[in-house]
Structure 1
Amino acid sequence: MILYGIPTCDTCKKAIRALEGAGHDVTFRDIRANPLSDAEIAEIVTEFGDRVINKASTTYRGFNDFLKASEPEAQIAAQPTVMKRPLIKNGSDWHLGWDDAVQAKLL
């Protein structure tokens, strides 16, 4: 299982603790230190569409109008932290966020 996020994200930390507590082997991928490839971004956007973009984030609000109007792939490539977190890949299944539905599937 791979959890994509940033080390300062409290929700990512909470998800890692819960997943490891449930017996999962979690690999953390810091998307700032180890940016996503174009192929990874394409796979994520194919799975979630523009739902993957956190439009309430300060990162998104700081985008200029051109970038706000751009495709999600361009937004993530320009600033990976605009992506909703955590993003979890469990085998071939993807999960976005850490809400009750995601927790019910993974814990």
Structure 2
Amino acid sequence: MRLYGLKNCDTCRKALKALPKAELVDVRVEGVPGDVLTAALAQFGDALVNTRSTTWRGMDEADRNKPPLEQLKAHPSLMKRPLIVDGAKMHLGWTKDTQAALGAA
């Protein structure tokens, strides 16, 4: 199980603590593999882009109008966190539903 997020993100730390077998991939340092990003975008659509983030607020209008895949490749921290990949399954965010699905509730 891989958890894509940021090492200093409180939500990612909570998820990592509840999922001791998960491996944290810091998206600022390592990025997100293209195939994972494409699959996540196909599954979650625009929800994958965190429009409430500091990164989003700092972007100019031209960058905001680019396709989501381009935005996420240029600014990995723009991704909603955490993105949890468990085999063929993907979960976005650390909601009650995600926690229940992963047996961490």
**TM-score over 0.5 for the alignment?**
yes
The one-letter code sitting in structure 2 at the alignment partner of 1:40 is V
Q: Which runs of 5+ in 2 are unaligned?
A: none
Match of 1:10 in 2: 10
Which amino acid letter does the alignment assign opposite residue 89 of structure 1? V
- 1:81 aligns with 77
Q: CA deviation at 1:44?
A: 1.6
Pairing of 1:4-83 with structure 2 (within 5 A): 4-20=4-20, 25-83=21-79
Shift of 1:89: 0.4
Q: 1:92 aligns with which of 43, 65, 88?
A: 88
TM-score scaled by length of structure 1: 0.91
Tell me, in whole angstroms, the C-alpha distance in 2 between the residues paired with 1:37 and 1:91: 15
8 Å contact kept, 2:4–2:32: no
Query: How well do the aligned residues superpose, as a CA RMSD in angstroms?
Result: 1.0
Q: Structure 1: which 4+ aligned runs deviate by more than 4 Å? A: none
Which amino acid letter does the alignment assign opposite residue 17 of structure 1? K
Shift of 1:98: 0.2
Structure 2 residue matching 1:8: 3-state secondary structure: coil
Q: How many residues align?
A: 103
- Aligned letter for 2:102? L
Q: TM-score, normalised by structure 2?
A: 0.93
2: CA distance, partners of 1:43 / 1:66? 25
Long gaps (5+) in structure 1: none
Letter matched to residue 18 of structure 2: A
